[in-house]
Structure 1
């Protein structure tokens, strides 16, 4: 029984005091005061005949005319003892000294004349006086519209300033200019360290130096060095910029203020600049300290480009205040600003100069070794089977960021659980790659036998041409199982190259066009399935001609502008444009004819491969070796990419 009582007490809602209760109590007290002090409750309204009777009997001691409208009638002591009045004076609402009757007389002048006349004729002792009384309810009703407007204003101000936040119920309006940064210090348990950040060795080295400076500044200042003002982490999404900042918070041992660039944005003028001032004021009070601003492009965009009206831009005011706080008069405190963005090209030049962000740390997509390290971190909590090959998984995931690898490991665990496995096998990871890159497998997609045959020969054409070319990437597997928008896909294992030569790009273009070439040779028709292939080779050819200067006719010229200022300007003449289009078309058609010639020489093997693909739906590198023999070129099995047979935009494939 005692335990039950304890549980009931534990489950009972806790008593919470609210300031609104005070307002309610005051309102009830006012109502009660008015209720108890009002004599109107005990007064009986009487008619003219009744009034004349009381007046002629000389029972009236005093008449008070209230607001020139109603007469309150007070009786004499003798009259109060009379039986006809006792039923009113003995009421629970009656208080001694209050009026017993009320008489609505109509015209005041006639009423007064009647009283004075009766007083003279009957020698009455009645006293007549006038009073002006104001009811508190009348006053409240008069001010009610203003009270409602004030309450509505207070309600919206509380909502816009984040009611329920840390400043209390009454101080929300006045805390809107305060910084929203989250503080991590020695009292905060931050478990992320540099050990949790796989890869990113160069970035970790740069950031580690900042951490060391904050821990032991005398090591650097003894040689005359100065603390850097800021470091900007730049890189594609998912590469670990925010994770690196979390590791700094765990390693530094100094106060760490973390917030997003959008936290400075507010609808009120001057709030952003006020929050910047408050943020740096807090950081200076706790210096040495670190400020981390994620997605700084929200406030750091170049000034003057987006102001269409010429008016005052709140975002620019916020940026101006940030520039002043980072490097202006009186900014000699040990406060370092870390920031992260994947849009460094849009940031203001004043923000990027030395003295503000002294270092720009590029956080790139991980290479094969870094991907292997990232896999090692993310598979630790997973229950793996013995056949899992982490090195091969790193090879299978080119272009994957750290976030993509984490998603892949989680997807593999979900796939294994869906199949009721007790451990995650290597094939589950490969299925996760297919799921992430190619999309969800569509088993119920309606494909006719004729369309399926076209798709099989298309993918077999890719595989055959890539197998026969020296610089084309070696193939891993071919599938005609529909996934996402693709009807089939060929998976390759290209080498990671820092530079790409002309022959390598041309061989890749030829292998990409092998699918359409196979359709032309076998069916003497072409389909819309080569949409993604054509898009890919057109981009490659245009890049070779206009970006990399790899075309002899156009020459060693590039029309690429890394600053992005040529978005609305064509950097070449109409004549040069025609030459560029001609060279792009010539390059693509030459590689297409090259693919046709290769497939004509190996038509029998192409047919065998396509029939095997129709039978199995998925074939691997070993199947190609049985058909074509060992690949005559040295294989650099480093990474994987896909070459997909895309659907027609209307989600159909034209029949041959």
Structure 2
């Protein structure tokens, strides 16, 4: 397969031409003002007549307006030591004089010159000049006008956005900044590069098919959807899906960000929306993709500044009109992406504008495995690397996080001088991304190190002994980032969480502070700050969001629409607020007491674990099994998981058998 040679010729840029013109005008003005080579040596009038008599003068120019004489010496005179420093190089205005002097009286000067010997003046030529002052002033004014005009052009060109295209000129400031991808654009991303997001990818593929063959869908009377909104957490692949649409679709694809609509000029946003849809309609069928649409799609009337002309609201109003106005016969589909769908305006979210809402969630374990396959495709990895193991080690990671892990693993392997990336490099990359860079050189006092060891051992012990707490992977007291110690867990991937699971997780969170009390008494340290913060947030969510408090009741004060984001009043009374505070404190106190009792009953094992941690600094799951024995809850969980997998496999097998029976029942036709 032959590859096309790249054209390395530099592209022509008008900025170079403008710069050259500006330098030429500045240089010309500098030369005309006599600033480059000077105007010759200043002499006295009597010296001039002396040099004429000695035959040193070749010619002179008399300026009648300025009463000044410019003297040019002969080549022989310039060879003498007396005049060697008077050699002048010619410039753009011609030769420059070697000497100049001021004439006191023109009549007296010419009388003296006429009285000189004929032999001396016969070889000297004389020129008389008379400058037009008006022309000279006009020429200088034109130079300054040209320089100021060039400066004005550059300033307003930068203010309008710079560069060529829609926003490149001051008169095109209201033009759209969308990038156009068509059949001439080389977009290398396709649906094959999008791993995991099967449901979202299927819906996006259907949007492309709508525009490729609309008759297939409209022959039954249906209408092509107006818009599709991609919703999901950051890094899940929303923009990547849009790039894949641009690479797969054989129709024009306009891409821009929500912030590209609004600038310092009033009315620019609405103008750019009109221009964007005008260009899209001219090239229909086409697709418009607006990334981070929440920049202009925020619900109206929810900002703190009231009154005045809100440029963002004007832009949103124009967008609503263009998406579902009177002109609804165009084959233009609008795609948008956001991770803050709760703050979008309800008029933007209604059917007829964004008919489809495609949720791009964090990938499951099998989807993470596919994402690892995509990002390790161009890496030199060992053949024995188990990608499913890596997928299990990264619960809650997005596609962007996995891409970062793969890149970080390659850098770690290169730093160690390896020829291929192995499993340990990926685990080190996960540790570095989650906890930060190891600080092995950080000096910690033995007393503080012992307290840190018991703190982390408390977390490990409580999570090991609690049924619904996340299983431990490893514990370390090596400082990482801003933390002095850390414990890694492998959380169970759940779709819903029960109250007992939340309480066990909170009890494990408070295990560090509880271990300090068990071993050192009530002389607490500040090391549990992050644990207490997370426990408070979880308990508050149990009371105010999930309705898991018997005193407050089955009530949720959470507003998923975001209408109360800017409200100055709470959705409950002061009496209820006191109940909420009491319930939050009760839940935290109960779980802390439970954690203290659990660790007190296993104080000997807690001490063994802490001592081993002080000795080795890093301990793993196998070390806990030697001290505590195998975790009995894991066997029950493995049994439940295996049963669920067997049931899923039975469903798949029965569906396949049904499909085979249907195929066999179809009568064959003879041709």
TM-score range, shorter chain: 0.7 to 0.9
For residue 205 of structure 1, what is the aligned residue in structure 2? 202
Q: 1:496-575, aligned counterparts within 5 Å?
A: 496-524=493-521, 525-567=523-565, 568-575=568-575
Deviations 1:270-300 (A, max 9, x none): 3222222222222112111111111112222
- Higher mean alpha-carbon deviation, 14-23 vs 583-592, is at 14-23
Deviations 1:61-107 (A, max 9, x none): xxxxxxxxxxx99xxxxxx9xx99xx89x95645xxx98xx9xxxxx
For residue 271 of structure 1, what is the aligned residue in structure 2? 268
Where 2:633 maps in the other structure, the secondary structure is coil
Distance 2:447 2:31 in 1: 90
Where 2:634 maps in the other structure, the secondary structure is coil
The match for 1:246 among 212, 218, 243 is 243
- The question of whether the paired residues in 2 share the 8 Å contact of 1:368 and 1:394 is answered with yes
1:306 deviates by 3.3
Cα distance change on mapping 1:145 and 1:316 into 2, 3 Å:
farther
- The question of whether the paired residues in 1 share the 8 Å contact of 2:463 and 2:469 is answered with yes
Residues 1:330 and 2:333 are matched in the alignment: no
Cα distance change on mapping 1:13 and 1:465 into 2, 3 Å:
closer
Residues 1:465 and 2:462 are matched in the alignment: yes
- The question of whether the paired residues in 1 share the 8 Å contact of 2:174 and 2:268 is answered with yes
Cα distance change on mapping 1:285 and 1:44 into 2, 3 Å:
closer
Deviations 1:401-443 (A, max 9, x none): 1000000010011111111111111111111111000011111
Q: 1:438-449, aligned counterparts within 5 Å?
A: 438-449=435-446
For residue 136 of structure 2, what is the aligned residue in structure 1? 137
Distance 1:231 1:199 in 2: 19
Distance 1:145 1:302 in 2: 51
- Higher mean alpha-carbon deviation, 138-147 vs 610-619, is at 138-147
Residues 1:340 and 2:340 are matched in the alignment: no
For residue 610 of structure 1, what is the aligned residue in structure 2? 610
1:303 deviates by 2.7
Q: What CA RMSD, in Å, does the superposition of the two structures yield over aligned residues? A: 3.7
1:186 deviates by 1.3
Residues 1:587 and 2:587 are matched in the alignment: yes
1:565 deviates by 3.0
- The question of whether the paired residues in 1 share the 8 Å contact of 2:29 and 2:143 is answered with no
Where 1:441 maps in the other structure, the secondary structure is coil
1:462 deviates by 1.4
Distance 2:436 2:187 in 1: 36
Q: 1:97-136, aligned counterparts within 5 Å?
A: 135-136=134-135
For residue 577 of structure 1, what is the aligned residue in structure 2? 577
1:145 deviates by 7.8
Distance 1:431 1:594 in 2: 34
Cα distance change on mapping 1:91 and 1:261 into 2, 3 Å:
farther
Distance 1:504 1:44 in 2: 105
Distance 2:412 2:337 in 1: 34
- The question of whether the paired residues in 1 share the 8 Å contact of 2:294 and 2:338 is answered with yes
Task: Report how many aligned residue pairs link the two structures.
Answer: 557
Cα distance change on mapping 1:19 and 1:441 into 2, 3 Å:
closer
Residues 1:378 and 2:375 are matched in the alignment: yes
Residues 1:414 and 2:404 are matched in the alignment: no
Distance 1:416 1:541 in 2: 42
Distance 1:198 1:180 in 2: 30
Cα distance change on mapping 1:411 and 1:43 into 2, 3 Å:
closer
Distance 1:468 1:586 in 2: 22
Where 2:508 maps in the other structure, the secondary structure is helix
Deviations 1:173-230 (A, max 9, x none): 3332222211111112222111111111111121111111111111111011111111
- The question of whether the paired residues in 2 share the 8 Å contact of 1:42 and 1:91 is answered with no
Q: 1:250-329, aligned counterparts within 5 Å?
A: 250-306=247-303, 308=305, 310-329=307-326
Cα distance change on mapping 1:13 and 1:603 into 2, 3 Å:
closer
Residues 1:157 and 2:156 are matched in the alignment: yes
Q: Based on CA coordinates, which of the two structures has the bigger radius of gyration?
A: 1
Distance 2:445 2:23 in 1: 75
Cα distance change on mapping 1:331 and 1:446 into 2, 3 Å:
same
For residue 130 of structure 1, what is the aligned residue in structure 2? none
Distance 2:489 2:309 in 1: 54
Where 2:474 maps in the other structure, the secondary structure is strand
- Higher mean alpha-carbon deviation, 427-436 vs 460-469, is at 460-469
Cα distance change on mapping 1:454 and 1:13 into 2, 3 Å:
closer
The gaps in structure 2 that reach 5 residues or longer are: 1-7, 33-60, 68-105, 108-113, 642-671
For residue 481 of structure 1, what is the aligned residue in structure 2? 478
Distance 1:509 1:162 in 2: 52
Q: 1:171-210, aligned counterparts within 5 Å?
A: 172-210=169-207
- The question of whether the paired residues in 1 share the 8 Å contact of 2:285 and 2:330 is answered with yes
Cα distance change on mapping 1:20 and 1:387 into 2, 3 Å:
closer
Distance 1:418 1:353 in 2: 53
Where 1:208 maps in the other structure, the secondary structure is helix
Q: 1:390-401, aligned counterparts within 5 Å?
A: 390-401=387-398
Deviations 1:99-156 (A, max 9, x none): 8xx9xxxxxxxxxxxxxxxxxxxxxxxxxxxxxx871233456788877665543231
Where 2:595 maps in the other structure, the secondary structure is helix
For residue 95 of structure 2, what is the aligned residue in structure 1? none
Q: So what's the TM-score if we normalise by structure 2?
A: 0.75
Where 1:18 maps in the other structure, the secondary structure is helix
Cα distance change on mapping 1:437 and 1:604 into 2, 3 Å:
same
The gaps in structure 1 that reach 5 residues or longer are: 1-9, 34-40, 48-71, 74-79, 103-132, 640-656
- The question of whether the paired residues in 1 share the 8 Å contact of 2:343 and 2:562 is answered with no
Cα distance change on mapping 1:544 and 1:149 into 2, 3 Å:
same
Cα distance change on mapping 1:532 and 1:222 into 2, 3 Å:
same
1:268 deviates by 2.3
Deviations 1:509-533 (A, max 9, x none): 1122122111111121322111111
1:313 deviates by 2.5
- The question of whether the paired residues in 2 share the 8 Å contact of 1:307 and 1:313 is answered with no
- The question of whether the paired residues in 2 share the 8 Å contact of 1:294 and 1:340 is answered with yes
1:11 deviates by 11
Where 2:352 maps in the other structure, the secondary structure is coil
For residue 18 of structure 1, what is the aligned residue in structure 2? 17
